[in-house]
Amino acid sequence: MSPASTSLKPLAQMAVEVLQTADGRAKAALSLAYGAAWFAARAEEKQGGARPDIGQATPPDEPARPTAPELKDPREVPRRRPGTPEGRNAMLHAIAHIELNAIDLHWDLIARFTHIRFPVGFYDDWVKAAMEESKHFNLVCDRLEALDSFYGAMPAHAGMWRAALETKDDLLGRLAVVPMVLEARGLDVTPGLITFFQKAKDTPSVEALQVIYSEEVHHVAYGSKWFHFLCGREDIDPKEAFHSMVRRYFHGLLKAPFNEEKRAEAGVPPDFYWPLTEPEDMVAQIERTAAQEGS
């Protein structure tokens, strides 16, 4: 049963409760329940009900996290050979960790910037993205558990929340770095991951990754959409703003090769990302594309 919009908690408060939930599965479940309640209230609104309240809340600087996995410096996370079952589990574990962070990143975006005025569609987009990340986390945890492992069985990268902390007072920076750089990077690397699990004949993992791949493009697109919206409202050049935000908040250069087609689909054009990479990378990708087209 969906709660009536009048009894629904303000969205910012729901976001903070998700952020304060430590256990991964419980976080994903609450995220899905609150997301469903939000969209039920929005459907009621379209039938003449009141608009659900966004409200205001204070999100924690760091979201609650389970006691396991242990979070380590990326250089200290043990590497396992990719061709082995342990290597595949390690890869699924790393993906689960990314998805869990992504749930928190979207709810944090919802709760943290309520002082900035937006059309309600801004909140619809990020609630939908948070629900999809919750599904992704569950899908990958299901795979780990089917393979006699679980999320928390091995160490995971610390520092994934760094981009969120550094952009906690800068929404333009947050949109540039989180959806338009970090999530766009997911579009670049996921086809290779799918091939990797196909070679291992792990069809359920391939199917999980295909769901993730098809939905992640929307998250990048929401980032681009609202980044452009803000730039348009403030009358600033989006490409220049993107370059300056990424140079300020993202440490290092962007890494080619890029999935240019999916990035274009998500509204991130080449002149946004190529100037932020090594020039040699661009030459290498042009040569690779030419070789593929010639073969």
Backbone angles phi, psi at 254, to 5 degrees: -75, 150
Which long-range CB contacts under 8 A does 231-238 form with residues at least 24 apart? 231/172
As measured in angstroms, the least distance from the Cβ of 237 to Fe ion is: 26
As measured in angstroms, the least distance from the Cβ of 108 to Fe ion is: 13
As measured in angstroms, the least distance from the Cβ of 202 to Fe ion is: 19
Q: Which residue has the tokens 């070679």?
A: 199
As measured in angstroms, the least distance from the Cβ of 287 to Fe ion is: 31
Please give, one letter per residue, the 3-state secondary structure of 49-117. Answer: CCCCCCCCCCCCCCCCCCCCCCEECHHHCCCCCCCCHHHHHHHHHHHHHHHHHHHHHHHHHHHHCCCCC
Residues in the chain: 295
Cα–Cα dist 208/192, whole Å: 14
Identify residues 128-147 at the interface with Fe ion (CB under 5 A).
Answer: 133, 136
- For Fe ion, the closer CB: 52 or 173: 173
For 46, the token pair is 């379209």
Identify residues 276-295 at the interface with Fe ion (CB under 5 A).
Answer: none
Tell me if 219 contacts Fe ion by CB under 5 A: yes
**Interaxial angle between packed helices 24-46 and 85-112, expressed in degrees from 0 to 180 and rounded to the nearest 10:** 40
Cα–Cα dist 277/136, whole Å: 29
Stretch that binds Fe ion, among 10-18, 108-116, 127-135, 247-255 (CB under 5 A): 127-135
- For Fe ion, the closer CB: 102 or 171: 102
Identify residues 166-185 at the interface with Fe ion (CB under 5 A).
Answer: 183
**Angstrom distances, CA of residue 34 to CA of 37, 200, 245:** 5, 37, 31
As measured in angstroms, the least distance from the Cβ of 136 to Fe ion is: 4
- For Fe ion, the closer CB: 11 or 98: 98
Question: Distance between alpha carbon 4 and the CA centroid of its chain, in Å?
Answer: 29
- For Fe ion, the closer CB: 188 or 216: 216
Query: Binding string to Fe ion for residues 53 to 72, with x set by CB under 5 A, is what?
Result: --------------------
- For Fe ion, the closer CB: 102 or 245: 102
Stretch that binds Fe ion, among 202-210, 216-224, 241-249, 263-271 (CB under 5 A): 216-224
**205, amino acid identity:** S
As measured in angstroms, the least distance from the Cβ of 141 to Fe ion is: 13
As measured in angstroms, the least distance from the Cβ of 154 to Fe ion is: 20
- For Fe ion, the closer CB: 132 or 202: 132
**168, amino acid identity:** K
Tell me if 108 contacts Fe ion by CB under 5 A: no
Using CB under 5 A as the criterion, which residues of the chain lie in contact with Fe ion when the complex forms?
99, 102, 133, 136, 183, 216, 219
